[in-house]
Amino acid sequence: MKKPDLNQMYETFIRVPINQPHDAVTYIENYLAFVRKTVLPLIRDLRAKGIISWFCFLRHLYQNQPSVHLRFELQRGSELELPDCCEGTRKMEDANIKEVDTSTLRNRDIAEAWGVIGEGSDWVLKMLEAHSGDSSINVRQAVQFIHYINNALATQIIDWK
């Protein structure tokens, strides 16, 4: 995925319609199922239609509810038509990323960082797509996939507390 055109970046929120269960494992499994059922097909459809090219997503609170915060590059000349599940859609005014030092980036270009973040989100979708449609993805399975990224970066050896 290429780095985004910062002048074409938009954001929207998709509420996650699951309650916080008593255990984190069940919540994460339900969240992954939601991303797989709702977010993944939406992103793949928008890309296939040429409406968006770059994207990334995070889980955030939106109006005090767990939501998927989807950022995307709207292709020039495309109409911004999103389904009703997308709320608070707006053009991004500030492309800075908290705690990312642009002086270390190629050409001091924050779009380089957004490009890498987009690759991470695309990796998550590919990991979900790699599983058969009729099986749920358990947390241990997801953690094992993520282990390979953490291990390659050696981040598992740092106590972040």
Q: Is residue 100 part of a domain?
A: no
On whether residue 106 sits in a domain, the answer given is: no
Flag whether 118 is in a domain.
yes
| Residue that wins the pLDDT comparison between 129 and 161 | 129
Question: Is residue 105 situated within a structural domain?
Answer: no
Three-class SS of 28-97 = HHHHHHHHHHHHHHHHHHHHHCCCEEEEEEEEEEECCEEEEEEEEEECCCCCCCCCCCEEEEEECCCCCC
Q: Is residue 40 part of a domain?
A: yes
Q: How do residues 30-45 score in pLDDT, each as one tens digit?
A: 899 999 999 999 999 9
Domain containing 115 equals 6-93+111-157
Domain total of the chain: 1
pTM: 0.89
Higher pLDDT, 103 or 10: 10
Count of residues in the chain: 161
Q: Mean pLDDT throughout 97-125?
A: 91
Q: Are 80 and 87 in contact (CB under 8 A)?
A: no
Q: List, for residues 7-26, the tens digit of each pLDDT value.
A: 999 999 999 987 766 788 88
Question: Does the residue 101 lie in any domain?
Answer: no
pLDDT at residue 158, as a whole number? 67
